[in-house]
Amino acid sequence: MFEFGIIPPLMFFGMVVFMLYGFPVAFSLAAVGLFFGIVGIATGHFEPIFLEALPFRFYGIISNELLLAIPFFTFMGAILERCGLAEDLLEGTGKLFGAIPGGLAFAVIIVGAILGAITGTVAASVITMGMISLPIMQRYGYNMKLATGVIAASGTITQLIPPSLVLVVLADQLGRSVGDMYKGAIGPSMLQVAIFILYIALIAIFRPNMMPPIPKEERGDLDAKLIGRVLMGMIPSIVLIFLVLGTIFMGLATPTEAGALGVVGAMLLAAMNRRLTWPLIREGMSTTMRITSMVVFILIGSTVFSLVFQGMDGSRWIEHLLTGMPGGAIGFLIFVNIFIFVLAFFLDFFEIAFIIVPMLAPVASALGIDLVWFGVLLCVNMQTSFMHPPFGFALFYLRGIAPPSVKTSDIYLGALPWVAMQLILVAIVIFWPQSVTYWLDDGPKIDPSKVEIKIDLPGLGGDPANGLNGLPGLEMPPPVK
């Protein structure tokens, strides 16, 4: 525990105490880092020259082009949240599936996945789904625990489906490309949607009274007009998904450029729905400014903390603790996911990604764990941070827009089965790495030990047999007699 001194453990627990106290995370991290830096200098455990690197690290944060994708994706989500696309999709899809028990729940999951692929924000999905579908579910006798749970869960899918902001941040912290993180997340996101749909299907079969079908007079006829309406809502979404993800996967655009394309596409969709107004743009810009500022300040605070922590051999202390765990790589992954699951009760995904992940990445690399797989696994786990009672943000969003007749206890208890399903996916990804790595393009395999480099450098030895005929002035000097 104290092989590398007492200061690294004290720094770690000091950080935990500050955050549990409720002080802003960015300032807590910077304050703990500077305080222990001064203590380390006074006791001779920390060299002051380390602090000279802080301005360069701050400049590196501000000039990081990858992080520029965050405001673009945030602004795109803020525009799409208000442009009416989700309303049209959910209304049409709800009527399409409304004839079967749980039809509206199926529609919520499917539309939530589509919104996740074009917005990347949980708040947009949960608030939109809740405002549209929750009153309808309540009117037709849906079990409220099931209704609130499916709405909250449909929003958290957004965290895993590209272009998720979580994957952008994790790619930056793990030193991997955003494109690889997005490709790696394809399999788990499809599995997550499939698990949710399977759960609703089982309830529809064995407990149909919990989610009755929508009456025919409300859903109308299943005709070409309804199908055309659903398709007209989905086609613009598919085009936007290609603009954002297709250009990244095909190598035509960087994540930042794809985010800019997404913003243009979102504004065009808003214009098509006749909702592109100055108040809408201003609200979107305000939301983007708040989230981007929060990310930058957390990054600056975590940089101060990590610089001092590493200068105190904190990274070696963490690696020493975790590499010696029983079970090897699998034991490490199980411990880390339990640790992240508990932390998610108190911290959001930005804080976990900027504070905890940089400590874990070197250990994962030392154990031979693929960092893309590791990052996607952590992203799957961090979905639960939005569903944890009582601090899950998705539950707060839902409580804010739910009618007073919906009990808070229904929202919290309704979230538990969906958290369990998210944890099932965590276990699947741990024990089936191919669910992530299958989608990655590893490129041609080259064995470095068999690479042979031949360079024809005339004059270095003057051996005509090997083609080294020599150049004037480059011959080997004669032996000294």
**CA 248 → CA 65, 120, 179, 303, 310, distances in Å?**
15, 15, 6, 29, 34
Q: How far apart are CA 314 and CA 6, in angstroms?
A: 10
What pLDDT, on the 0 to 100 scale, is given for residue 377? 92
Q: Which of 1, 3, 197 is nearest to 109 (CA)?
A: 197
pLDDT for res 2: 47
The domains of the chain are located at: 66-297+378-437
Query: What pLDDT does residue 374 have?
Result: 92
The pLDDT, as a whole number, for residue 467 is 47
Half-sphere exposure of 190 (CA within 13 A, CB side): 9
DSSP 8-state class, residue 274: T
How many angstroms separate the Cα of 340 from the Cα of each of 81, 170, 344, 355, 368?
A: 29, 14, 6, 11, 20
- Residues with pLDDT less than 50, the chain: 1-2, 443-449, 459-462, 464-471, 474
User: What is the per-residue pLDDT for 154?
Assistant: 84
Read off the tokens for 273. 């729905």
How far apart CA 439 and CA 433 sit, in angstroms, is: 11
Confidence (pLDDT) at 1: 44
Give the model's pLDDT for residue 428: 93
Residue 251 is given by DSSP the state: T
The predicted structure's pLDDT at residue 376? 92
pLDDT confidence of residue 195:
94
Q: What is the pTM of this model?
A: 0.76
For position 372, what pLDDT does the model report? 92
Task: Note whether 322 and 363 are within 8 A (CB).
Answer: yes
